[in-house]
Amino acid sequence: MSETKGRIALVTGASRGIGRALALELAGRGWRVVCVARAQKALERLDDDIRARGGEATLVPLDLRDVGAIDQLGGALYERFGKLDGLAGCAGVLVALTPAHQATPSLMDEIMAVNFTANQRLIRALHPLLRASDAGRAVFLSSSVARKPRAYWAPYAASKAALDAFVTSYAGELNVTPIKANLFNPGATRTAMRAKAYPGEDPMTLPAPEEVAPAIADMLAPSYSENGVLVQFERR
């Protein structure tokens, strides 16, 4: 905790699922958490939960498809904090499973905008803030289908493959900086997204987001020294 007390992390997808659990985990470790998602009420509930644990949150209700708002967020965070110590790209959408040849333009637009372009724009807007930290750490949530695509998962798999390629390339440019950028594959986790993809599955057989979040929080710590790796969650 002493290692991370007072550090500032931005978590996307903080309104529910893995992003929410990560925001709580980080707050419990002493981080100030900038929480990004669209659902304002859910963010306010998260704020209450973080405060109840003695933590501090900054809420940013934002649609990540609005790339101009991402650029503005970079400026606002610079004005307020002057640096960013952790960036966790947890927001993601499945939209729908579909045969590749039936993927509609609107489905492709949304899935690429949230899963790929938003993270690219976050890197662009927030790299200078991560650079201003003594140990900027960035983690982006991947998926097993990024590297092993499956039938009916084409849009989601393509968006995550693009994210993996972008983040791995970015990591390769960081050796002259203290920043580390990595990918994390949570595997099957008990969230709304998983239930949408596998409606017949018993969610109680899966790890809860609270089980997964500590492994991501570890990757944001200043002592985390890997760069350009994909970490697979393993249940303990």
Ligand X SMILES: NC(=O)c1ccc[n+]([C@@H]2O[C@H](COP(=O)([O-])OP(=O)(O)OC[C@H]3O[C@@H](n4cnc5c(N)ncnc54)[C@H](OP(=O)(O)O)[C@@H]3O)[C@@H](O)[C@H]2O)c1
Which positions are annotated as active-site residues? 156
Give the length of the chain.
236
Residue (122 or 129) nearer to ligand X, CB: 122
The separation between the first and the last C-alpha atoms of the chain, rounded to the nearest angstrom, is 21
Residue (133 or 155) nearer to ligand X, CB: 155
The minimum distance between CB 151 and ligand X, in angstroms, equals 17
The minimum distance between CB 228 and ligand X, in angstroms, equals 19
How distant, in Å, are the alpha carbons of 29, 65, 219 from that of 107?
37, 13, 31
Binding stretches for ligand X (CB under 6 A): 13, 15-19, 37-39, 42, 63-65, 90-93, 114, 141, 143, 186, 188-189, 191-194
Residue (19 or 86) nearer to ligand X, CB: 19
Residue (107 or 193) nearer to ligand X, CB: 193
In this structure, the dihedral spanned by the alpha carbons of residues 61, 63, 69 and 71, taken in order and rounded to 10 degrees, is 110
Cβ neighbours of 119 (radius 10 Å): 26
Tell which residue, 216, 181, 199, has the closest CA to residue 19. 216
The minimum distance between CB 176 and ligand X, in angstroms, equals 29
The minimum distance between CB 220 and ligand X, in angstroms, equals 15
Rg, the chain, Cα only: 17
Provide the β-strand partners of residue 59: 35
DSSP 169-197: HHHHT-TTSS-EEEEEE--S-SSHHHHHH
Q: Is 3 exposed, middle or buried (0-12, 13-18, 19+ CB in 10 A)?
A: exposed
Residue (89 or 135) nearer to ligand X, CB: 89
The minimum distance between CB 159 and ligand X, in angstroms, equals 9
